Amino acid sequence: MYLSETSALRLKELGFKRTYYIDEIAPFDFYKVNEEEWVLGGRILPEGDLLAPSDITIKGTWLPSLTDLMTWLADNNYTYTLECKERGHGYVVQALDSEGHTTKGKGGTAELAFCKVIEHILKSTR
């Protein structure tokens, strides 16, 4: 569903940002504040109207969702595969860039596997 705070902070430190709703708050975002996890909710169209208090987005840590991670790869010109291993053995994501280089990430959840791939990509572009 979404990343842990630890994984989200690692990605943020590496410069990860969403590639849609750029520099905006989306009503479907997840945040963690004071050991509480929030989904913002509210109206999306015709104008965004958030239900959660503004402190959530100001003081909280944005927890990227699986969609955020998948979209980031696609918008950065990567194609990818997600492989589910046998039950209890996690997931493997393989991302292929436009030059044919492959990056692999493994994790106990699909979100964590995507996170590992993106971390590796961001570290290699520093």
In the chain, how many domains are there?
Answer: 1
Domain containing 14: what range? 5-124
> CA nearest 117: which of 93, 99, 97, 100?
93
pLDDT at residue 88 in the model: 66
DSSP state of 68: H
Output the domain CATH number for residue 63: 3.30.160.20
64 burial (CB, 10 Å; 0-12 / 13-18 / 19+) is buried
> How confident is the prediction along the chain (126 residues), in pLDDT tens digits per residue?
899 999 999 999 999 998 888 888 888 899 999 999 988 887 766 776 778 888 888 999 999 999 999 999 999 999 999 999 877 679 999 999 999 999 999 999 999 999 999 999 999 988
pLDDT at residue 14 in the model: 97
pLDDT at residue 84 in the model: 92
With tokens 């504040």, the residue in question is 33
Taking the model in full, what pTM does it have?
0.86
